């Protein structure tokens, strides 16, 4: 019988619980330290609209767990907005460049 096990029988229930919690915290700290050694940090520099966010999103899709349903729902409005903006740009470009419509009813 070790000294520690002999002392453990003299501890109150509260002290035993505190000791158990402390051991769990120490175990979690060791796990976190081990995990942080495997984690890489990357600083992406670039001007606005240079693709930094797109790069991160692609890495998340390819190597991560992807997106939650809530994240996906949040992108719906953005996707529609991008489609609408692109269509407006194309219409303005056809007018600026005087590109005729193939079918007049599409005007």
User: Is 89 labelled a binding residue?
Assistant: no
Structure tokens at 60: 């998340």
Which pair of structure tokens corresponds to residue 48? Answer: 């606005």
Residue 50 annotated as lining a ligand binding site: yes
Query: Does 53 count as an annotated binding residue?
Result: yes
Tokens at residue 87, please? 């269509």
86 labeled part of a ligand binding site: no
**Is 52 assigned to a binding site?**
yes
Torsion over CA of 11, 12, 13 and 15, rounded to 10 degrees? Answer: -70
Which residue numbers belong to the known binding site for Mg(2+)? 53
Which residue numbers belong to the known binding site? 49-54
Which residue numbers belong to the known binding site for GTP? 49-54
């Amino acid at each position: 019988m070790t000294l520690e096990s002999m002392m453990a029988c003299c501890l109150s229930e509260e002290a035993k619980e505190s000791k158990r919690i402390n051991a769990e915290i120490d175990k979690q700290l060791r796990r976190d330290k081990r995990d942080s050694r495997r984690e890489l940090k990357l600083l992406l520099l670039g001007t606005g609209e240079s693709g930094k966010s797109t790069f991160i999103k692609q890495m998340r899709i390819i190597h991560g767990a992807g997106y939650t349903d809530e994240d996906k729902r949040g992108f719906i409005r953005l996707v529609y907005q991008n489609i609408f903006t692109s269509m407006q740009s194309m219409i303005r470009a056809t007018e600026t460049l005087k590109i005729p419509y193939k079918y007049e009813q599409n005007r």
